[in-house]
Structure 1
Amino acid sequence: MAEQALLRFTEPGMRLLENEHKYLSYLMEEWHAIVLEFEKDGMSLEVGREKLKQLRQLLFQFVEPLKNHTDKEEEHFFPALGTYIGFEQGPLVGIQEEHQEIDGYIGHFFHHTRGNIDLFSLEDIRTVAGNAGEAFEVLTVHFVKEETVLFPMAEKLMKAVDQDELFVKLNTLIT
């Protein structure tokens, strides 16, 4: 039987966000496996074009749950935590900038793959797939930062009434 990963946080709102990270990470692993294939030598142009189409489809399926998750953080979690730690400097500023960086990499990928992929050279394919690889790296580090800095901070600092209110707001599906 497969070992089930346990959630680390006790507050329902933080558990919800942590669980969403696990789901998003699962989806990320699917498309990142394709990104890694582009780093190997010996891929034919035909295979590269097919892999890029698969990558595009998986990223397309990933974007909506990611956007729903980041929207919830930006609309509810960050403002709630910000009332305790401030908004002008500190970890919230960096985390919000990372949301923009992730959007930029994914947006750049879609911008450059919106045309006819069958006209791409293998070098073009590898270059554009690199944007997905960068998004994966930023997202991975981003989730770690939230789970090691922001979530523990929220559990420690936020009053129970604010935790409860936050959970009600966050308790929506991202899919």
Structure 2
Amino acid sequence: MDATNGVLSAPLHQLKDEHRSLRADMNSFYETTEEIECEAGPAVIQLFAELYQQISSFTDKLKAHSKREEEGLFPLMARHLGENDRTIPTMEFEHEKAEQHLQDFLTEAENKGKDINETEAQWISVSAVQAYTTLIQHFANEEKVLFPLAESILAVDEMEELGQLFQTR
């Protein structure tokens, strides 16, 4: 297959499709962060409550997606890449960084609870923006570098193994 033209095997195509869905959720929560930044008073607190729900739901979806990559794709690719290759460690680091931003948001929001004020809501929302920025870059890296690389180095039977793994999870 020709990964340079965007033709990917089914498991890689699935991961790329998941990016589309995750990006839609990310765009939605990013819009909410922009509204929080522009609004004032009680509207900020209402928007923050909405953002909290969006981030909670998104975090669950992202964890499921990351797990498929970290337990399926990454180990298969690591077998082929040299021990000095930084591709997989870089991707794992980006996962950790994005997940930490999301966790920071959730933790801070939960710590403030119902007593949160406008300034705190705006400050805590920065973690959601940082997660968004990290993930936009990360998804682009995976789609431009990782997925084409996987397409070129994984054997047909490894792609089948990956596909079966995704179906069972």
Structure 2 length as normaliser, TM-score? 0.90
CA distance in 1, matches of 2:48, 2:84: 40
Superposed CA RMSD in Å reads 1.7
**CA deviation after TM superposition for structure 1 residue 117, in Å:** 4.1
Residue deviations 1:110-166 (CA, integer Å, cap 9, x gap): 111114544223221111000000000101100000001110001111111111111
Question: 1:16 corresponds to which residue?
Answer: 14
> 1:68-79 alignment to 2 at 5 Å?
68-79=64-75
2:98–2:135 Cα contact (<8 Å) kept: yes
Structure 2 gaps, min length 5: none
Matched, 1:46 2:30: no
1:96 to 64, 89, 92: 92
CA distance in 1, matches of 2:168, 2:29: 25
After superposition, the Cα gap between the structure-2 partners of 1:138 and 1:87, relative to the gap in structure 1 and judged at 3 Å, is: farther
Q: Secondary structure at the match of 1:171?
A: helix
AA partner of residue 121 (structure 1): N
Matched, 1:27 2:22: no
Higher helix share: 2
Q: Secondary structure at the match of 1:84?
A: coil
2:36–2:48 Cα contact (<8 Å) kept: no
Q: Secondary structure at the match of 1:113?
A: helix
1:13–1:170 Cα contact (<8 Å) kept: yes
2:145 to 144, 149, 154: 149
Q: Secondary structure at the match of 2:29?
A: helix
CA distance in 2, matches of 1:164, 1:147: 20
Structure 1 length as normaliser, TM-score? 0.88
Of structures 1 and 2, the one with the larger relative CO (CA 8 A, separation 6+) is 1
How many residue pairs were aligned? 165
**CA deviation after TM superposition for structure 1 residue 52, in Å:** 0.3
Runs of 4+ in structure 1 displaced over 4 angstroms?
Answer: none
After superposition, the Cα gap between the structure-2 partners of 1:75 and 1:153, relative to the gap in structure 1 and judged at 3 Å, is: same
CA distance in 2, matches of 1:36, 1:94: 29
AA partner of residue 144 (structure 1): A
Structure 1 gaps, min length 5: 1-6
**CA deviation after TM superposition for structure 1 residue 45, in Å:** 2.0
Question: 2:134 corresponds to which residue?
Answer: 138
